[in-house]
Amino acid sequence: MISADLKGKAVLVTGGVSGIGLAAAELFASNGASVAVNHLSDDPAAGEVIERLTGNGLEVIAAPGDVSDPAQGEAMVQQAAEQLGRLDVLINNAGTSNTREPIAYDNLDAMTEDFWSKILQTNLIGAFRCARAAAEHLKASEGAIVSTAAVAGLGIPGSSIAYGASKGALINLTRSLAHALAPDVRVNAVAPGLVRTPWTEPWPDSRKNQTIENCLLKRMVEPEEIAQTMLFLACSPAITGQTLAVDCGRTC
């Protein structure tokens, strides 16, 4: 298990009330950081999650807002930084596949303008607007950004053409932001494979097993393992501009 002394540090986790985001929020807070947990304003699970984390003695605050909305996304980042008093790490985790079932790549008619817009506004532009809003705070603290990409952005078939394209673009954005914010801010990404989350839990076993068979380690990734990698990247002073696949050997 990776650990770090994060006392006095402040972290914002977007999409932080379930799956990878929740695991990241809990891990950073358990290592001493003050954590702002972003969630959609109408998410019914948010209150319960925040109450549970604070009840466990973790320093956590709610940061409602939709990163896909320009006004909400930027305001959420600024408000979180103000409430925390500073910002050392931005975990750009909020994302969407915009579909429960995979969409065949040859089904071009399903890739409507609205479908593309929802995915890009959340997965790519949302990540950029949060990074832009956080940039001055992170420069002041010589902090870090860690984004959640996906193996779909590394050439592994994903849930749709649009999803894969958004994650590939996020990987490119990671490199670009590393250049733009250097030397003060380090920018990296994690590319998860098949992760055990509330989103993948309802999938039929046949679908999950097909992916697992293509992994060297023959298992799913746990969200806590992604969070551990995020902590490693956030605290590694010599790493920037990189995307690390955490996929049980899917991309080998």
Residues with active-site annotation: 163
> How wide is the angle at C-alpha 172 spanned by C-alphas 86 and 189, nearest 5°?
50
Number of Cα atoms under 13 Å in the Cβ half of residue 138 = 27
DSSP 188-245: EEEEE-SB-STTTTTS-HHHHHHHHHTSTT-SPBPHHHHHHHHHHHHT-TT--S-EEE
Distance CA 69, CA 86 (A): 23
Distances (CA, A) of 16 to 46, 63, 91: 9, 9, 9
